[in-house]
A and B are shown apart, each in its own frame.
Chain A
Amino acid sequence: MSSVGTFKQVKDKLIALIKASHSSLNDSDNISHVFGEWRIRMYRLENMPIVTVRISPYQQWQLLYGKASSGGTAIVSWSAHVFQKKGASPSAQELAQAIVEYLAKKGRDPSTGICYFYEMLMRESEPERGPSNITRIIIEGRMLVKYSY
């Protein structure tokens, strides 16, 4: 049995799901809008909206303590920072709403072990030193992942 639910698989799928959640986040003409890196090149800001994704933490949940297991479940906490220009359509709020709805409805993905998304919350947050004409919405949530080695 091939491994599923690994850190990389889960993150890649989360990025793919967010890209699919709204037409303005789809890749087009070699332009991406969703990123998983800690730093992004400044010129990316020219192509709003932008969503940056981070997983923290990926926590394995062992049901049978002390027993070597070939798999189990993991609670994966994640965050997505949605940036959009003020006044643009769709707004950052609309995008965040679309992302949360999409993940809640279509997030299940047996090929990567993602069972479902839950405890998702959204909040507005202005970056202290970021550009003033950009709105940021932070989405935080968890997903239950079934993993196997």
Chain B
Amino acid sequence: MTYCSEEDVYNATGMNSSIVQELSGKTEQEVTSMINSFISQAEARIKRELKIPITIRKERHVGDGHTIIISLGPQDDEFGIFDYDPENKVEEVYAVYHGNRRVKLPYPKDCDELTEQTASSWAGSNATISDEQTEVKCGSYSIKIVFSSAGEAKYPSSANLAKKIKPWKYIAFWFKSSDASAKFQLRLYDKDGNYEYHEFTVEKANVWYPIRLAVEDFTGSIDWSDKRLYQIGIYANKACTVYFDNFNFNDGWWWSYPSGTINYGGKDDDKFSSGDVVYVTYGYDPFKVSVPAEIQEACACLAGVKLIEYLIGARLRTTAFEVMSQTIEPPLDRFTLENLRTRLIQRYERAMASFGYGFIGGLA
């Protein structure tokens, strides 16, 4: 969710798409793209100035012996601090402490890099692979694999991961299949194309399941203390459509965001024991789910400043290098745009002040 829209920028500046098109010589689509980039820049600056993502240090969570998916947020806080509300506001998990032990960070560190818009790097036999933006469990994309019959999809197609996986005990990912009777294998390849595999299934079709496997339980004879992982493969024994996301190697804990959960690793039916305590350090964006009116205005004003600066530049191309012919003075009307730009900056700073920017203390 962006902090403001293109329309908000027009409302702040009094401009509209057609006048910007006329002044800049850009198409409607190019103007939209330019303003969206101004909005992104404004958002980045607001986040920097309000110190977002805000870091929550060692948030406490307690096991109940059943749950393996834990929503991040203050619900288990022993001091009863409930004035922040992360879950879907979570931006990034930095560290997990299981008891006194800091859990080794997963590979990849965001638990998602290998399945985030990587379809072009996959190759398959009897498998069509694409990036999926609707059926997603982590990040913005999952991998969609359509098996036309028994087949396999491999990543990366160039088989060049070259990753030592020995430090991690477990593999985890979210998985959904259109056919509950299909049997799947996760395959781990070495440089020579030899592989180890672990079978898994889903209980019911078209439901997301967290799949958790232990590396030591894989069938095969590759010694991962000597060899590196070069490729992974998803094998299906029949035609079906599957979604694959959040794939990672972990040391007991892995995480999913923007859904905002940490997930217990282990294997198969391992549970996070009742009474066990885990502490999580993570960052969240308080405006990720809903944007307050002041932040929306601040973002629109700052993006508006950038738009006006662009238009001042566009106008400089023709008018700013002119002088009045009888006095050789610069025309005065150029200052109206610069004045508007200054007023937008002032409005932006007032809007930001309501969230503590410019004061000692405040939200940050």
Contact = CB atoms under 8 A, between A and B. Distances in A.
The judgment on whether A and B are partners is yes
Contacts of B30: none
A114 B72 CA distance: 90
A129 B322 contact: no
A127 B329 CA distance: 8
Interface string B319-337: 0111111111111000000
B323 A45 contact: yes
B318 to A, nearest CB: 9
A39 B331 CA distance: 9
A87 interface: no
B325 A52 contact: yes
Contacts of B321: 41-43
Contacts of B322: 39-42
A117 interface: no
B247 to A, nearest CB: 61
A65 interface: no
10 contacts: A37-B325, A39-B322, A39-B323, A42-B320, A45-B328, A52-B325, A81-B326, A83-B328, A130-B323, A130-B329
Given A129-B330, A134-B328, 15 more contacts: A38-B324, A38-B325, A39-B331, A40-B322, A40-B325, A40-B328, A42-B322, A42-B323, A43-B321, A45-B323, A52-B326, A83-B328, A127-B328, A130-B327, A130-B328
Contacts of B324: 38-39
A54 interface: yes
Contacts of A54: 325-326
A79 B323 CA distance: 18
Interface residues of B, number: 12
Contacts of B326: 52, 54, 79, 81
B309 to A, nearest CB: 20
Interface string B127-155: 00000000000000000000000000000
Interface in A45-90: 45, 50, 52, 54, 79, 81, 83
Interface in B312-359: 320-331
A85 to B, nearest CB: 12
5 closest A-B pairs by beta carbon, nearest first, are A52-B325, A42-B321, A127-B327, A39-B322, A129-B329
A36 to B, nearest CB: 8
Contacts of A116: none
Contacts of A81: 325-327
B237 to A, nearest CB: 75
B327 A129 contact: yes
Contacts of B330: 129
Residue among B320, B321, B323 facing the most chain A CB atoms (10 A cut-off): B323
Nearest to A127: B327
A3 B329 CA distance: 37
B333 to A, nearest CB: 11
Contacts of A134: 328
A130 B328 CA distance: 6
A74 B138 CA distance: 83
B321 to A, nearest CB: 4
A7 interface: no
